[in-house]
Amino acid sequence: MVNYFKKTSMPARLRQPGRIIKCSKGFTLIETLVAFMVLSIVLVVILQTFSGGIRSGHKSNQYIYATFHARSKMEELMFSDVSPGRYQGALDDGYQWQAEVALIDTDQDDPVDTGIAQMTLSVKVSWRERGQATGIELHSLKLAPRDG
């Protein structure tokens, strides 16, 4: 029969009187503090990376919505009977738009009168982000029948 609870004797070099026995069955306080410092630095870097990604995604989403609104207003101006001037308005989701329609002055000495007027269209959609105005602007040309 084997006795599993048998006491093992200590080596002779450790049984000397007055000698301090040093056991290393764990981490010291310094090692633990250093490990926590390294862990905290790594976590801060990872969290900053994730928050930067979230901010970039939010900003990209705002630009996508602004582009959608600008294209919508541009198509509205392209396919409507609009006269030269400035137009503006606000949208339900916090975006504001401004449009400018200007007539391009063509050369009057042209011997061939086509009866077509050329106009430039500019649409700007803006929004406030962190107290700062941000926006995009689209430009296009429009051909329309000349009045008179």
Residue-wise pLDDT tens digits, 67-85: 999 999 999 999 998 889 9
Single out the residue of 107, 98, 99 nearest to residue 82, CA to CA.
99
How much is the pLDDT for 144? 85
Residue 141, pLDDT above cutoff 70: yes
Helices (H), the chain: 29-78
Q: How confident is the model at residue 145 (pLDDT cuts 50, 70, 90)?
A: confident
Whether 95 and 130 have beta carbons less than 8 Å apart is answered as no
As for how many domains the chain has, the answer is: 1
Q: Which helix (H) or strand (E) holds 114?
A: none
Q: Cα–Cα distance between 119 and 77 in angstroms, integer?
A: 11
Structural domain that includes position 57: 26-145
Please report whether residue 13 resides in a domain: no
Terminal CA-CA length for the chain: 120
Establish if 9 belongs to a structural domain: no
Mean pLDDT value across residues 35-58: 95
Residue 20 has pLDDT above 80, yes or no: no
Query: Nearest Cα to 141, choosing from 71, 92, 47, 78?
Result: 78
Report whether pLDDT(95) > 70. yes
Residue 111 clears pLDDT 90, i.e. is over it: no
Mean pLDDT of 16-32: 74
Sign of CA dihedral 56, 60, 61, 66: positive
Is 6 contained in some domain? no
Q: What is the pLDDT of residue 32?
A: 93
